[in-house]
């Protein structure tokens, strides 16, 4: 046997204190090569059974040692695996006050030493060190009997050495349970945890907003995007901040939400995240960045501190390299002010949370506390990457699961958050999902739980069967399509793959399992056509109609955003299809005016400047912000969305109808669907015509029918016409009528 032996080993793992299992890809021939462990540990026996070796050691293996199995010249890392599964603790973690003392606790079961460092200021280089002590459950702790308010702290963690290890006592990490964190603008994000005095924030009686899931009309938005453009009217020094978002009587921020009439805001991540990423093509970095010419992270899907609000969004936030954010902790109070203001205006607050992975390039505390405990690893001890973001968090481990649930409950109790959307939720194990549901409902029985039901797999039905809601990509792909050039949907007069008239009908009733869909009930189907990912709906339609070439820069950026008649018709048909479907509605910022996302001029070496963008996670404000002058130019579509929102709120049948309340008309055109809803004491007729050429006639049921929405306008206030016999549905349009 030689060095190539390692190539045919499928896995080598520690199975128990004295047992090692080695699995080969195929049955191994007999070998006389020496088998040994490093560090040296006596081997009692080796039982060879075809493609498995069972190795029994004469002494216990230890979790704080990094072992390698040596077979001849081959070296195979042995992961601690199940040895770590038994470690868990119920002790309060982070910095807590107990009997007048400041008690610091951090969970790191494989660490050999942990040093607490107390700093006077976040940018201090020297901190006063205190050696912490470990209990039998892997928790390190230290108590200080003097007031530390106004100071900050971090940890140095030492542990076993080895090729698969991440311990580095030269690095100072912040506390993963820190409630407020100051960090420096650098891709490594040096950070300190603040010790803030007790918060006496006055919630003025607020306890959150309880909205039944059927009634949700969710606006997905990025905190900065609604206030950064000058057209937002927000005071310049407040733009992009928590406080700027709730500055009322402006065009942007909370005023825009009130104008639209939505009842829930879903914020892209506001838990502390890595705002800076690796500098572009800088050979001095450990990883060579060839993919992000901006070196930034705008969207926030790289969480580093799950209990702390993002400090960049505070009123003193800075995006200047080298600056520190969050040094005075004001982000805590300003985030609470934002939630309270939204609640006062009847708007529930959901936050997008990322527990499938952690921040990738910075000093993320979980990596330096114990990579092996907190992350899923392959047999070589490398991070698994089903998330596509560099690592997968090991949610099934007891203390990883506890952190997820502790932080969610903290946001509910401390910030009055009403619900959560879970990024790449399929990576979170099912048992943890069930614990999340059960524990959060003890705090708020009506908490909203929404899964992005993919990531290392796809199973919206699995979430629905566990009484979670999930994004309904079925309706997205059916109504709009998946690719504007090669896979267009209903509104373009095209059907691809599994889409047909029956699938269109199932979208209307809630994309239910009983009809071949994934959802056990309609309240679980979060219907949407656009999110932060991929093209905006407006750009999808521009490209899908062939009126914009995505492979060329936009020719006339000053007029390009204005909708053509064709584009306007398809945007209205898409919106009507969305708002008439059973299940919660979600739409993305700017969808209401068919926002076009064009990559803005910048100093960054981006060869795609001027092109339509479909993934702006790393772009600057100028690509991502909402220009309310563009909204004004497409005001007819904005008014259409406002009318549909009002209609949906006013008529319970659009939200609470069951499949037996639907009566579908027999239509010969698979691109034309008409149905009558008789529920909640009202009769509503909906007709949707995706055919781009044909006018369709529909015989109306007996009675007088008031037209509240068609291809021109939508309004809940007064009908535009009263019809009694026939309805003509124009190409690429729809109608909604209510019986008198």
pLDDT bin (cut points 50, 70, 90) of residue 529 is very high
d(CA 508, CA 500): 13
Q: Which of 49-53, 229-233, 411-415, 679-683 has the lowest mean pLDDT?
A: 49-53
Read off the pLDDT of each residue in 16-23 and give the average, rounded to a whole number. 91
CATH class for the domain made up of 3-84: mainly beta
**pLDDT tens, residue by residue, 630-642:** 999 999 999 999 9
Query: Minimal CA–CA distance to 420: which of 448, 445, 439?
Result: 448
Phi, psi of 293 (to 5 degrees): -70, -10
How many angstroms separate the CA atoms of 368 and 174, rounded?
A: 10
Average pLDDT on 140-153 reads 98
Environment class of residue 373 by beta-carbon count within 10 Å: exposed (0-12), middle (13-18) or buried (19+)?
buried
Question: Would you say 165 and 151 are in contact if contact means Cβ atoms under 8 Å apart?
Answer: no
pLDDT at res. 125: 87
**H or E, element range at 98:** strand 94-98
Q: How confident is the model at residue 4 (pLDDT cuts 50, 70, 90)?
A: very low
Q: Specify the pTM.
A: 0.96
pLDDT at position 5, please? 47
Per residue in 480-508, pLDDT (tens digit) is: 999 999 999 999 998 765 668 899 999 99
Label residue 27 by pLDDT band (50, 70, 90). Answer: confident
Q: What is the pLDDT of residue 565?
A: 97
Predicted confidence at residue 25, as pLDDT, reads: 82
Which residue ranges make up each domain of the chain? 3-84, 657-739
Output the pLDDT for position 497. 59
Alpha-carbon distance of 140 to 93, in angstroms, equals 10
How distant is the alpha carbon of residue 244 from its chain centre? 23
Give the distance from CA 402 to its chain's centroid: 19
Confidence of residue 2 (pLDDT cuts 50, 70, 90): very low
Structure token pair of residue 665: 């008309």
pLDDT at 29 over 70: no
Residue linked to tokens 């992000």: 292
Dig out the tokens for 385 from the structure.
């990457």
Indicate if the pLDDT at residue 118 is higher than 50: yes
Q: What's the rounded Cα separation, in Å, for the pair 323 and 317?
A: 9
| Interatomic CA distance for residues 725 and 19, integer angstroms | 81
- pLDDT tens, residue by residue, 222-275: 999 999 999 999 999 999 999 999 999 999 999 999 999 999 999 999 999 999
pLDDT band (50, 70, 90) for residue 1: very low
Res 32: pLDDT: 67
By percentage, how much of the chain surpasses pLDDT 70?
A: 98
Q: Please, which pLDDT band fits residue 308 given cuts at 50, 70 and 90?
A: very high
E strand intervals along 135-229: 139-144, 152-158, 181-184, 191-194, 217-221
- What is the predicted pLDDT for the residue at 50? 80
Nearest to 348 by CA among 446, 469, 436: 446
* HEC readout, 444-509: CCCCEEEECCECCCECHHHHHHCCCEEEEHHHHHHHCEEECCCEECHHHCCCCCCCCHHHHHHHHH
* pLDDT single digits (tens) 421-473: 999 999 999 999 999 999 999 999 999 999 999 999 999 999 999 999 999 99
Task: Copy the structure tokens of residue 267.
Answer: 């914020």
> What are the tens digits of pLDDT across the range 663-721?
999 998 999 999 999 999 999 999 999 999 999 999 999 999 999 999 999 999 989 98
Q: Say which CATH topology domain 657-739 has.
A: Immunoglobulin-like (2.60.40)
Taking Cα atoms as reference points, which of 721, 668, 677, 718 lies closest to residue 697?
668
Q: Tell how far CA 625 is from the center of its chain.
A: 19
When pLDDT is cut at 50, 70 and 90, the band that residue 179 belongs to is very high
Average pLDDT, the chain: 95
Each residue's pLDDT tens digit, 537-566:
999 999 999 999 999 999 998 899 999 999
**What is the distance of C-alpha 734 from the center of its chain?**
33
State residue 193's pLDDT score.
98
């Amino acid at each position: 046997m030689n060095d190539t032996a390692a190539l045919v080993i499928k896995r080598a793992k520690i199975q128990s204190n004295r047992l090692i299992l080695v699995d080969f890809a195929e049955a191994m021939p007999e070998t006389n090569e020496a088998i040994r462990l490093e560090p040296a540990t006596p081997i009692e026996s080796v039982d060879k059974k075809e493609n498995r070796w069972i190795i029994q050691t004469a002494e216990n293996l230890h979790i704080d040692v990094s072992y390698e199995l040596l077979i001849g010249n081959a070296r195979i890392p042995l992961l601690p695996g199940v040895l770590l599964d038994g470690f868990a603790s119920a002790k309060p973690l982070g910095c807590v006050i107990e009997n007048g003392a400041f008690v610091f606790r951090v969970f790191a079961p494989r660490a050999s030493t942990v040093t607490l460092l107390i700093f006077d200021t976040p940018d201090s280089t020297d901190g006063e060190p205190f050696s912490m002590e470990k209990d039998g459950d892997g928790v390190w702790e230290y108590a200080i009997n003097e007031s530390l308010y106004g100071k900050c702290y971090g940890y140095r963690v030492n542990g076993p050495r080895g090729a698969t290890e991440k311990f580095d006592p030269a690095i100072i990490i912040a506390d993963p349970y820190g409630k407020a964190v100051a960090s420096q603008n650098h891709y490594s994000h040096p950070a300190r945890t603040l010790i803030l005095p007790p918060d006496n924030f006055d919630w003025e009686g607020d306890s959150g907003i309880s909205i039944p899931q059927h009634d949700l009309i969710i606006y997905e938005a990025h905190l900065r995007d609604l206030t950064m453009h000058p057209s937002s009217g927000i005071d310049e020094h407040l733009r992009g901040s928590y406080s700027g978002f709730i500055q009322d009587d402006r065009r942007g921020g909370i005023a825009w939400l009130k104008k639209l009439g939505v009842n829930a805001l879903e914020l892209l991540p506001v838990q502390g995240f890595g705002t800076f990423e690796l500098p572009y093509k800088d050979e001095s970095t450990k990883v060579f960045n060839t993919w992000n010419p901006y070196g930034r992270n705008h969207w926030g899907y790289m969480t580093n501190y799950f209990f702390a609000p993002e400090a960049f969004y505070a009123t003193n936030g800075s995006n200047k390299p080298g600056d520190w954010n969050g040094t005075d902790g004001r982000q805590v109070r300003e985030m609470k002010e934002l939630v309270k203001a939204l609640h006062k205006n009847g708007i529930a607050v959901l936050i997008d949370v990322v527990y499938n992975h952690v921040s990738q390039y910075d000093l993320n505390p979980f990596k330096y506390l114990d990579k092996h405990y907190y992350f899923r690893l392959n047999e070589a001890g490398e991070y698994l990457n089903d998330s596509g973001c560099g690592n997968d968090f090991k949610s099934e481990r007891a203390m990883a699961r506890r952190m997820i649930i502790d932080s969610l409950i903290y946001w509910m109790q401390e910030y009055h958050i009403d619900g959560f959307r879970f990024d790449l939720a399929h990576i979170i194990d099912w048992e943890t999902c069930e614990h999340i549901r059960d524990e959060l409902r003890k705090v708020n029985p009506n908490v909203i739980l929404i899964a992005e039901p993919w990531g290392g797999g796809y199973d919206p039905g699995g979430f629905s069967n566990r009484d979670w809601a999930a994004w309904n990509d079925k309706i997205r792909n059916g109504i709009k399509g998946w690719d504007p050039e090669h896979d267009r949907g209903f509104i373009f007069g095209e059907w691809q793959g599994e889409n047909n008239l029956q699938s269109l009908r199932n979208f209307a009733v809630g994309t239910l399992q009983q009809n071949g869909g994934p959802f056990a009930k309609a309240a679980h189907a979060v219907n949407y056509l656009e999110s932060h990912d991929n093209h905006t709906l407006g750009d999808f339609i521009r490209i899908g109609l062939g009126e914009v070439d995505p492979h060329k820069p936009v020719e006339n950026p000053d007029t390009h955003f204005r909708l053509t008649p064709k584009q306007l018709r398809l945007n209205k048909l898409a919106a009507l299809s969305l708002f008439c479907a059973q299940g919660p509605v979600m739409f993305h910022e700017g969808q209401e005016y068919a926002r076009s996302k064009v990559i803005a001029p910048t100093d960054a070496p981006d060869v795609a400047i001027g092109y339509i963008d479909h993934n702006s996670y790393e772009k600057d404000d100028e690509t991502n912000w909402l220009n309310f002058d563009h909204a004004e130019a497409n005001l007819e579509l904005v008014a259409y969305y406002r009318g549909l929102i009002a209609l949906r709120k006013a008529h319970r049948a659009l939200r609470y109808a069951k499949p037996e309340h639907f009566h579908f008309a027999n239509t010969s055109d698979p691109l034309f669907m008409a149905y009558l809803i008789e529920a909640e004491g009202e009769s509503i007729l909906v007709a949707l015509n995706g055919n781009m050429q044909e006018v369709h006639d529909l015989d109306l049921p007996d009675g007088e029918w008031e037209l509240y929405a068609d291809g021109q306008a939508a309004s809940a206030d007064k009908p535009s016409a009263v019809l009694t016999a026939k309805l003509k549905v124009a190409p690429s349009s729809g109608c909604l009528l209510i019986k008198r």
